[in-house]
A = this chain, B = another copy of it.
Amino acid sequence: MTTVRLWSDAEAEADPAVKAVFDDIRATRKSDVVNNFWRGLANDPVQLKRTWENLKAIMVAPGALDPLTCELVYMAVSAANNCSYCIHSHTAAARAKGMTDAQYAHFLQIVGMAAHTNALVTTMQIPVDEAFQVES
């Protein structure tokens, strides 16, 4: 259950601002599926458009990181933030972009290891080494 209404296709068709975004999602992804996240955001067409355009610019348009790496970073943040929906949707996206079982196994190892050392460092309150204190 959600705290907002998930818009049906019929409702989206009847609202030009929402329809424009849903159409662009379908065209960009070459798929008929508009997933639930966008159907929830549709209650606020301004936020819907802004969020989709940012996502498209960051995750779909060519960038300095390749598409699979982008998904792995997204998955890592979503896992650490415990967002079940986002873990599922971005793991599915990573597989669609070619993530192999071996790559996913390696990813899981890193996520576990990072959480482990994060916890040890925080519990011991280790100070940052001077050697790391060099900005770009």
Give residues in A with beta carbon < 8 Å to B. 1-6, 33, 35-37, 40-41, 43-44, 46-47, 50-51, 54-55, 57-59, 63-65, 69-70, 72-89, 91-92, 95, 100-129, 131-136
Q: Are A119 and B128 in contact (CB under 8 A)?
A: no
Residues of B within 8 A of A135 (CB): 1-5
A55 and B117 form a contact (CB under 8 A): yes
Please list 13 pairs of residues, one from A and one from B, whose beta carbons are closer than 8 Å in the complex, sorted by A's number.
A1-B127, A6-B126, A41-B120, A41-B124, A43-B101, A65-B72, A65-B106, A65-B110, A73-B111, A88-B129, A92-B134, A108-B123, A112-B120
Q: How far is the CB of A103 from chain B (nearest CB, A)?
A: 4
